Each structure stands twice: as structure tokens, then as C-alpha cells.
Amino acid sequence: MDILKRIEELKTLINEYSYEYYVLDNPSVTDYEFDQLMKELIQLESENPQFKTPDSPTQRVGGEISEKFVKVNHDIPMLSLDNVFSFEELRDFDKKVKKAVNRYTYTVDLKIDGLSVSIKYNNGYYERAATRGNGILGEDITENVKTIKSIPLKIDFKKPLEVRGEIFLSKKSFNKINQEKITNGEEPFKNPRNAAAGSVRQLDPKIVAKRNLDAFLYYGFGIDKSNHFEIIQCLKELGFKVNENTVFCESIDHVIKFIEKVSDLKLTLDYEIDGVVVKVNEIDLYEKIGYTSKFPKWATAFKFPAEEVETILEAIDFQIGRTGVVKPVAKLQPVMISGSLVSRATLHNEDFVNDRDIHIKDHVVVRKAGEIIPEVLRVVKEKRTGQELPFKMIDYCPICNSHLERKTGEADYYCLNPNCEAKHLEGLIHFASREVYNIDGLGEAILTELFNDGYIKNIADIFKLKQYKDELIKKERFGEKSVDNLLNAIENSKNNNLDKLLFGLGIRQVGAKTAKILVRNYHDLFDFANATIEELENIKDIGQATSNSVYQYFHKKENIDMLNEIKNLGVNTIFIDNRMNDETVFTAKTVVLTGTLTNYSRNEAKAIIEKLGGNISSSVSNNTDYVLAGESPGSKYDKALTLGVKIINEEEFIEMIKIG
């Protein structure tokens, strides 16, 4: 037998059957027949490793475990979309498009509730996959995405190609995963999107391979087509899975009719959607229609109205936040909303409850605000029986019994006791969360248990948890593998940049954006201890309240002692400006763009300059280093001439970025 020939035959057959099963949902062979072919291929490749290739179906089982995800730059930014919530707003969007261009059509896609992904192919072979990240910088998830069976490892397209789409988890797979988690005594995922995102970010691809993720692709850079709908058809011909409900629309009226149909269709789908994406079809019109600082003006997302459900408010509890704020929380009779079971909802503050006349035992209408946070919308007063109990705000902290204070001009009450355990726990949950230190495996439930058992009482204790490895393994719901994964995640988190640490400390007024501003001015954590309030206030976009909070935090001995402890435990306390690692022609240079470029969109040029360490400004001044001028430059060009600022054209720009 010609072994190589047989291996190639098996690869061809398995790929064809996989495409039928995972993309067309129309298999022509039984699972048993498919498994036998795969088994034969695995054996032949094992006996003849010289014939194993990267595009073999056997490579989807998952590679080596990663220590962490490597950051990657997107050559073309992955832009987010502006949202509209009504047909009136959608028509306003269309009017703005009509002001910019005359003749245009639309492509409308379902808005899949999943995780955005970019996948690169080179010479027809799968090369790299990355998350969206912040749109400019994502994470390399190549090995994990390789396990998704609907994504081809080889395509009949030799030019460089970047495809973009949405990774998701079907409702069927989601239910199966959650059932397994419940059986194993683990906390189930809240919804399919969280499950998909959590799966993609697993460090072990073998775990990802078992999750049965899927993906719809909706765009391809490198395909020479004039409109978006043609690109989708081309992706389908290349073997990619595209959504069968994508439609071409000649007008905004046609778009609205389709959306009306989708509202009923969404209930029959085996995957979650939260709206539709409306894009101008003609790609050559994009530059003329333009961009805002955040979004393209030629596309928008129509979001479905939040689902509203009636239930009973059984009780009102009180939750203590990391800053000491005390919030009333509705304890609800459990109800399904937008695909997840809801038993609690925010009531915001005392004024919110009183203004809406909310009583305990009321029938209430609940919705998910922004499809994320459940909130009580209104009371169904006609269903009152007289047995309902009026709300009364508490006077003392339910945890430490300290007297609560409501500050002048604020709606919230605060527990001012610095030693209140509830504040400490919420602060730790905030620190370990995905948005901050992103310690995988240290979620709210696990952290609460470790806090109550005395293992973790402050941030430093998180990084000392490895001392208790043997004890943790013996705890219920833990085990050796989960403890190893947790300790590895904690160890990896030590390398986070300083802005993450500053955000994680829970200083009042210091959110993620403010933390980034602060660390660009003070590159060492301990520099903040020497900063005066006046110096902090002089930083652009930093106000008096923030300056006072930062100053007070870094002038408390217990805080400095804790920070010294985590530094000694190996936690990074230095800001590393990733833009400035290598000197380039744009390093620390301020650039202003004007006019229309031929080879790049405005956002693409901005991303390239920022990637090379430059700063983008919207106005020309004596501090401007370069003005990049395209066709039909405006007043910025004239001002640059007046001030003697160096003006570069697109050809010069291309040469400069080649040099880097």
C-alpha cells in the first residue's frame, strides 16, 4: 500500500465529511464510519510521522498547553460598531449615509452573541488566530481556534487572507457543558457567550477541543470583491461557514422588514443573537462615508429591545461594594431572561426604590440593562394584595454594624469602616476579575470560599496562595489539576502592566482609563507616594477628586506595606510602555492626519502610527512633528505650512513605515 497516498485520501475524505457535518449540517456518513476513518489516519500518521502535515484533521485535538497568551497587533484595526435601538434611530443612520453618498445598498448579518476573532491564512494554510482585544492589540489564540472543526486548516486561495468572524457556542453544546459542570460540582456558565469566551481563553487547547465551539465568518481582507455581500459568498465558496440568514437589502425599508422577521426567527435558532449588523454594501464608499473616533459611519448594530419578564420580588438584601457603597439588591423568584436564569437584580439606591414605590412581595417587571445587568424596571401595582411591605433603607452596615453615611449630593450610602470584611471581599473580587488582573479560576464563588476560610484576606494573600497547595487540593470542589491551573494563573498575572495593578487596588475615582493616564505620568508604583495633590491635578483629565483619592491611598502606611509585600512576591510594579520598546521614525512623535489616503483608511493609518510609537492629534500646533496629507487636505494643511510643520505625503509615509 502506498502509505502517503492513503493518508492523503483519508485527509480528503475526512475534510469533506467534516464540512458536510459542521458547516452544511448535512452528513453523508454515520459517526461510526467517520470515527473509523479518523482512527486509521491517526494510526498511519503515528507510524509515519514524516507524513503528518499542519492541515491534517488530526491536528484539531489541541496542541501544547500555553503559559499565557502572546499579544499580537492587528494590521487593520478591528473596529467596534455604534448601536441603534429603534427603527427611528436606524432611519437616522440611513439619512447620515445618504448625506455622504448617493447610490448604495446594504448587507445585513445576524449579530451573533459570541467572541470576535481574526484568522490569517498564508499560501492557503491556516496560520494565526487572534482575539479582538482592544481593536489594535489582541491575543494569540491560534492553537485554540484550530480545534474549531468548522474552520478550515487549508483553503484554495494562495494570496494572504485575513478572515474575521464570531466564535460562538450553540445552545445544545452550552447545555451539555453546564450539565457536566453541575455533575462535577463546578459553577455553571451563565450564558453561551460567557462559555464561548471562557473556552477560547483556556490555556489548554485540549480542553477547548472538547467544548465543540463553532464560528461564523463574515469578512475577508485580501478578497478582490467590490461589495460586502460578494465577499461573504466568496468565503462560503472557500469552505468557510457563513450565516445562512445574511441578506442583501436595496434600501433601509428592506432592512427594517428583515429585522421584523428576525425578531421571530431568533427563538428558533440554536445560537444566541442580540441584534443585526447593518453595513453599506459597497466597499469603495467607506472612505467617503467616513469614521468617527470610535466607529465606522457606514455600519451600525441594531440591538433588540431588552427582554422584559414579570416575576415576584421576594426580599431586598444589601450588598457592600469595594469602596464601601451599600446597594439594595432585589431577591427575585427565579426567572429566565435572555437565555439565563435571573434571581437577583440591582435596585441602585434608596431614591431609585422610593421613586418607583417598590415594595417587598410586589410583582415587578425585570429586564437586563444592556443585556448584562438585571434591573427592576417597574412595579405591576394592579396585582398588589395589600400584603406587600414598604422598603426601608438600613442605618447600619449588615456586615460590620458600622453606622452608614449618605454624603451630601450623592444618592448612595457608605460604610466608612476601613476594616469592614465585605469591602475587603468585594475589593478582592474586583482585583481578580477578568477586566482587571484576569486571574482565571479565581472567580467570585472560589474567592469567597477562600476568603471565608481565611486563606485570602488582602491582595498580597492571593500571591501567597501557593503555600497552601496541599491543603487546597484536599478541599471539596478543588482537586490537584484545578489548583495547579489556579496557581499558574496567579503566577502569570504577576506580569500584568502597572495600569492593571493600579486599577485593581480599588482606589476611588480610579477606573481602567484613569489608571492608564496616571501610569503614563508615573511609571513606578511607588512614585505615587511622592506625588503631591497639585502635581496629580496638573495631569490632563485628572480632576481634584481623583487626585485626593490617589494621594490619600498612597499616604496610608498599611497600603504601602501591602504594596511592598506584593512587590517582594514578584508582582510587577513598573509601567512598560509597549509602544516604546523599539525606536521607530514615529517614536514619541505627534502626527496629524488630513485629506483622503489612497492605500489606507484614516483608522488604519492611525493604528500604524500608534503601533510605531507615535501619537495622533486632531489639531496642528507648534508641538506637531508631522502632518500626513492625503488628497484634498483641509485647513490643517494650511496651518502646517504657516507654522513650518513637516508635511509628508502618502508615498513618504509608506517609505517611513517600511523603515519602521
Instruction: Please tell me the distance from the alpha carbon of residue 429 to that of residue 562, in angstroms, as a whole number.
Output: 17
93 pLDDT band, cuts 50/70/90, is very high
Q: Which residue has the cell 477628586?
A: 545
Of residues 112, 128, 127, the one with CA closest to residue 213: 112
Q: What is the CA radius of gyration of the chain?
A: 28
279-294 per-residue burial string, b: 16 or more CB within 10 A, e: under 16: bbbbeebbbebbbeee
CA dihedral for 200, 202, 205, 207, sign (positive or negative)? negative
Of residues 286, 237, 288, the one with CA closest to residue 76: 286
| Mean pLDDT, rounded, of the chain | 86
Cβ 121 vs Cβ 163: under 8 Å: yes
Of residues 407, 394, 375, the one with CA closest to residue 319: 394
Q: Look at residue 167 in the predicted model and tell me its pLDDT.
A: 95
Cβ 82 vs Cβ 302: under 8 Å: no
Q: Look at residue 660 in the predicted model and tell me its pLDDT.
A: 56
Residue 399 scores a pLDDT above 80: yes
Q: What is the pLDDT of residues 19-33, one digit of tens each?
A: 776 666 567 777 667
Length of the chain: 660
**Mean of pLDDT values over 346-358:** 92
Instruction: Please tell me the distance from the alpha carbon of residue 413 to that of residue 132, in angstroms, as a whole number.
Output: 38
3-class secondary structure, 447: helix
Q: Into which CATH architecture does domain 3-61 fall?
A: Orthogonal Bundle (1.10)
Q: Which residue has the cell 486632531?
A: 618
Q: For residue 653, what is the enclosing H or E element? A: helix 650-659
Cβ 313 vs Cβ 332: under 8 Å: yes
Written as one letter, the residue type at 593 is: L
Q: What is the pLDDT of residues 448-492, one digit of tens each?
A: 889 888 899 999 999 999 999 988 988 877 888 889 889 999 999
Instruction: Please tell me the distance from the alpha carbon of residue 156 to that of residue 12, in angstroms, as a whole number.
Output: 13
β-bridge mates for residue 457, sequence order: none
CATH of 308-392, one of 1.20.58.220, 2.60.40.790, 3.40.50.300, 2.40.50.140: 2.40.50.140
Instruction: Please tell me the distance from the alpha carbon of residue 465 to that of residue 446, in angstroms, as a whole number.
Output: 13
371 pLDDT band, cuts 50/70/90, is very low
Q: What is the pLDDT of residues 588-599, one digit of tens each?
A: 788 999 888 877
Instruction: Please tell me the distance from the alpha carbon of residue 279 to that of residue 108, in angstroms, as a whole number.
Output: 6
Lowest mean pLDDT among 19-23, 282-286, 443-447: 19-23
Instruction: Please tell me the distance from the alpha carbon of residue 594 to that of residue 602, in angstroms, as a whole number.
Output: 9
Take residue 151 and report the three cell numbers written for it: 474552520
β-bridge mates for residue 414, sequence order: 325, 405
1 pLDDT band, cuts 50/70/90, is low
The 10 Å Cβ neighbour count of residue 107 is 23
Lowest mean pLDDT among 66-70, 99-103, 540-544, 604-608: 66-70
Cβ 373 vs Cβ 363: under 8 Å: no
**Mean of pLDDT values over 260-272:** 85
Q: Look at residue 585 in the predicted model and tell me its pLDDT.
A: 82
CATH of 73-303, one of 3.40.1050.10, 3.40.50.10710, 3.30.470.30, 3.30.1060.10: 3.30.470.30
Q: Look at residue 579 in the predicted model and tell me its pLDDT.
A: 46
Cβ 54 vs Cβ 126: under 8 Å: yes
**Mean of pLDDT values over 546-557:** 93
Residue 430 scores a pLDDT above 60: yes
Percent of the chain exceeding pLDDT 70 equals 93
**Mean of pLDDT values over 225-242:** 94
Take residue 516 and report the three cell numbers written for it: 492608564
Q: Look at residue 580 in the predicted model and tell me its pLDDT.
A: 44
Instruction: Please tell me the distance from the alpha carbon of residue 583 to that of residue 570, in angstroms, as a whole number.
Output: 28
Q: Look at residue 122 in the predicted model and tell me its pLDDT.
A: 94
Q: Look at residue 551 in the predicted model and tell me its pLDDT.
A: 94
Q: What angle do CA 148, 149, 154 make, to 5 degrees?
A: 100
Say whether 303 is catalytic.
Answer: no
In eight-state DSSP terms, residue 52 is -
Q: For residue 161, what is the enclosing H or E element? A: strand 161-168
**Mean of pLDDT values over 311-339:** 87
Instruction: Please tell me the distance from the alpha carbon of residue 332 to that of residue 313, in angstroms, as a whole number.
Output: 5
Of residues 304, 303, 312, the one with CA closest to residue 376: 312
Take residue 359 and report the three cell numbers written for it: 415594595
Lowest mean pLDDT among 134-148, 172-186, 524-538: 172-186
Lowest mean pLDDT among 52-61, 148-157, 295-304, 316-325: 52-61
Domain 580-659 has CATH 3.50.50.60: no
Q: Which residue has the cell 500500500?
A: 1
394 pLDDT band, cuts 50/70/90, is very high
Q: Which of 111, 606, 611, 636 is catalytic?
A: 111
CATH superfamily placement of domain 421-568: 5' to 3' exonuclease, C-terminal subdomain (1.10.150.20)
- DSSP assignments along 341-408, one per residue: EEEEEE--SHHHHHHTT-EET-EEEEEEETTTEEEEEEE-GGG--S--EE----SB-TTT-PBEEE-T
Instruction: Please tell me the distance from the alpha carbon of residue 277 to that of residue 301, in angstroms, as a whole number.
Output: 4
Cβ 239 vs Cβ 99: under 8 Å: no
Instruction: Please tell me the distance from the alpha carbon of residue 366 to that of residue 652, in angstroms, as a whole number.
Output: 58
Of residues 196, 153, 110, the one with CA closest to residue 11: 153
Domain ranges of the chain: 3-61, 73-303, 308-392, 421-568, 580-659
Q: What is the pLDDT of residues 52-92, one digit of tens each?
A: 887 787 876 544 445 567 888 888 888 888 888 889 999 99
Q: CA-CA distances (angstroms) from residue 284 to 92, 232, 290, 304, 654?
A: 22, 16, 11, 29, 21
Cβ 572 vs Cβ 494: under 8 Å: yes
Q: What is the reported pTM?
A: 0.53
